[in-house]
Amino acid sequence: MKKILMVCLGNICRSPIAEGVMREKLAQNNIPAVVDSCGFESFHIGDAPDPRAIKVAKENGIDISNLRARLFRRQDFELFDHIFVMDSNNYRDVSRMSSGESDLEKVDYLMNLVYPGKNLPIPDPYSGDMDDFRQTYAMAEQAVDAFIQRIKKSGNS
């Protein structure tokens, strides 16, 4: 079973959208998985995703309204096989909590699934408008589709 964690800053925009997309598409493809999301900003702990994130997910048939923000924890390295970050700040924050190379091997930029090694960010839509949230959704969907194709090719579901 795949265990996947999505990480952004506040865990109310990018990572809950990515969590919802990953969870939905893995289920559609009958790939058993545990998917979660978290962040590094304590201001939003326990909060639901941003209403704009909920809306854009709902526009695409995904309900993320029940998700609640939490902080990244050191034990997440033990609990998850894949830890996907949205940008270089998230990568730095996760790396600082790692215990070494075995932890870091699990960490990658979500967009590296589409553009390997490019470390392209998914921009934070928080200060933007609905178009920015739709762009976040589109990028997350593109990455998740690439991840699922990789799983299918490897036959490792």
Phi, psi values for residue 137, rounded to 5°: -60, -45
Is 14 catalytic? The answer is: yes
What pLDDT is attached to residue 155? 76
Q: Does domain 2-154 have CATH number 3.40.50.2300?
A: yes
Partners of residue 7 on adjacent β-strands: 38, 85
pLDDT tens-digit profile of 128-145?
999 999 999 999 999 999
Tokens of 25: 């598409």
38 catalytic residue (yes or no): no
Q: Which is catalytic among the residues 50, 52, 124, 134? A: 124
* pTM (two decimals): 0.97
Alpha helices in 4-155 (DSSP H): 14-28, 51-59, 76-79, 88-97, 101-104, 130-154
pLDDT digits (tens, 9 = 90+) for 29-72: 999 999 999 999 999 999 999 999 999 999 999 999 999 999 99
Residue 157 has pLDDT above 60, yes or no: no
Cβ atoms 127, 138 nearer than 8 A: no
Of 13, 14, 50, 87, the active-site residue reads: 14
Tell me phi and psi for residue 45, to 5 degrees: -50, 130
Whole-number Å distance between alpha carbons of 130 and 61: 16
Q: Is the pLDDT of residue 11 over 70?
A: yes
Judge whether 92 counts as a catalytic residue: no
